[in-house]
Amino acid sequence: MKTAIIYIDIDDDLSRAGVSTPVIGETKAREAIEKSSRFLALDSDFNSMVTAFNIYLNMKENGNDVEIVFVAGSQRGGLDSQMTLSKQVDEIIRAVKPDQAILVYDSPEDAKAIPVIESRLKIVGIERVIVEQHRGVEETYILLAKYLKRLVTESRYSRLFLGVPGIILFISSILAIAGLTAYVLPSILLVLGGAMLVRGFGIDDAVERWWENSTIMVIVAILSTISLILAIVNGYLVGSTSGGLSIKTASSVLLAALPYLTFSIIILYAGKLLSRALARDIKVWHDLLKILASVVVYLILSDLLKNLQSGVYVIQIQSFYLLLLSSFLLIATYFTLSTIEKSRLKAS
């Protein structure tokens, strides 16, 4: 049985040493270790590489059919790392054709790759490398300086540890210059809360993946968000200038916000429609129907709200007929186009 000795570097520190992954075979592994010795000599990743290579040599000397491979994820972390590593594992399986694997890694973050590999290969051994160090005061300072350097040079850390404090200092300075020091603390809390929310729910990673997959959808999402904010602001301004709480006031607020809300929805459908049109997707008509349905709903709701604003609390027959007719046309169009789509898919 052929065994692959797999060293895992899920955060792709190997790229900092100029090593491209996946690394397959003894010769390339030696070259990768030699390169890494100049850049990662004090890093636990280097010790893990050497450990994996030594396991490979020992098993080879004992007559086992083995191959050494190094795989890496991405410095961006998160799902992007796991997806990149998954592609490299597939490439290794095609090239080496192993029956089983022994995994070597050094950090809990690297352990996230174990299920990814386990779904493709039988794992018969796992070796976690823990580097024991006796640190004096001087060695502690060196280690601290190394991690501080990573905070500055690696984007996944610098965004949080430099970007957020930078925003706080910038906003605080602007408020101080403007004589609005009373707003400094609320602004700091707002920035910190926003950063925790974004990082905690992985919003930044989601937006980054979204941007890579569809730039159009990111742009329309920004425009949709702006329109939604305008709807809230416009509704608030109308509500604050109106009288007490009543049906007339509520209808005035909704009527003021409705155009912006409708635009917010329509532009999302339009962005999806454009993406599908560029991809020559036959389902482009789905989004077109959604846009038409949104327009019809807007016209009916605006008419209803105008009547409520005027004190008319009965649905007029024209609105009822418009709703009935538009619903019939949209449903008929949907079933017709669905039939055409299914027939084309069967033909292809």
**Each residue of 106-140: pLDDT tens digit?**
877 778 788 888 888 888 888 887 655 544 544 56
Residue that terminates a domain, selected from 175, 203, 231: 203
Residues 39 and 21 reside in one and the same domain = yes
Q: Give CA–CA dist 186/170, Å, rounded.
A: 14
Q: What mean pLDDT comes out for the span 262-288?
A: 82
3-state secondary structure of 126: strand
Decide if 209 is inside a domain: no
Q: What are phi and psi of 303, to 5 degrees?
A: -65, -40
Last residue of a domain, one of 93, 128, 163: 128
Task: Report, as an integer, the average pLDDT of 288-299.
Answer: 84
Residue the block writes with tokens 């929805």: 265
Mean per-residue pLDDT, 177-197: 82
- 174 or 40, greater pLDDT: 174
Pair (144, 63) in one structural domain: no
What is the per-residue pLDDT for 135? 47
The three-state (H, E, C) secondary structure of 17-79, written as one string: HCCCCCEECHHHHHHHHHHHHHHCCCCHHHHHHHHHHHHHHHHHHCCCCEEEEEEECCCCCHH
Q: Could you report the per-residue pLDDT of 224-234, keeping only the tens digit for each?
A: 888 888 888 88
Least confidently predicted of 11-15, 84-88, 112-116, 231-235? 11-15
208 found inside a domain: no
What pLDDT is stored for residue 213 in this prediction? 63
> Are 112 and 187 in a shared domain?
no
Do 163 and 223 have their domain in common? no
CA-wise closest residue to 53 among 72, 28, 73: 28
Q: Are residues 32 and 74 in the same domain?
A: yes
User: Same domain for 264 and 329?
Assistant: yes
pTM summary value = 0.43
Instruction: Indicate the residue among 83, 108, 128 that finishes a domain.
Output: 128
Does position 206 have pLDDT exceeding 80, yes or no? no
User: Does 38 map to a domain?
Assistant: yes
Residue 63 lies in a domain: yes
Cβ neighbours of residue 7 closer than 8 Å, sequence gap 6 or more? 48, 49, 52, 53, 68, 69, 70, 71, 104, 105
What distance in Å separates the CA atoms of residue 288 and residue 272, rounded to the nearest whole number? 10
181 and 253 housed in the same domain: no
Q: Per residue in 20-41, pLDDT tens?
A: 888 888 888 888 888 887 766 6
> Is residue 342 located within the same domain as residue 222?
yes
**Considering the domain boundaries, does residue 49 fall inside one?**
yes
Is residue 344 scored above 70 in pLDDT?
Answer: no
Which range of residues forms the domain containing residue 46? 3-128
Q: Which residues contact 59 (CB under 8 A, 6 or more apart)?
A: 3, 5, 66
Question: Do 144 and 259 fall into the same domain?
Answer: no
pLDDT band at 237 (very low <50, low <70, confident <90, very high): confident
Whole-number average pLDDT of the chain = 78
Give me the pLDDT at residue 138, please.
47
User: Can you tell me the distance from the alpha carbon of 267 to that of 276, in angstroms, rounded to the nearest whole number?
Assistant: 14
Helix orientation angle between 247-278 and 284-309, rounded to the nearest 10 degrees: 170
Q: Do strands 3-9 and 23-24 pair parallel, antiparallel, or not at all (unpaired)?
A: unpaired
Domain assignment present for residue 99? The answer is: yes
- My answer on whether 122 and 144 are in the same domain is no
Domain shared by 44 and 147, yes or no: no
- 168 and 115, same structural domain? no
Domain presence at residue 105: yes
Count of structural domains, the chain = 3
Among the residue ranges 47-56, 183-192, 221-230, 274-283, the one predicted with the least confidence is 274-283
Strands 3-9, 100-105: pairing kind: parallel
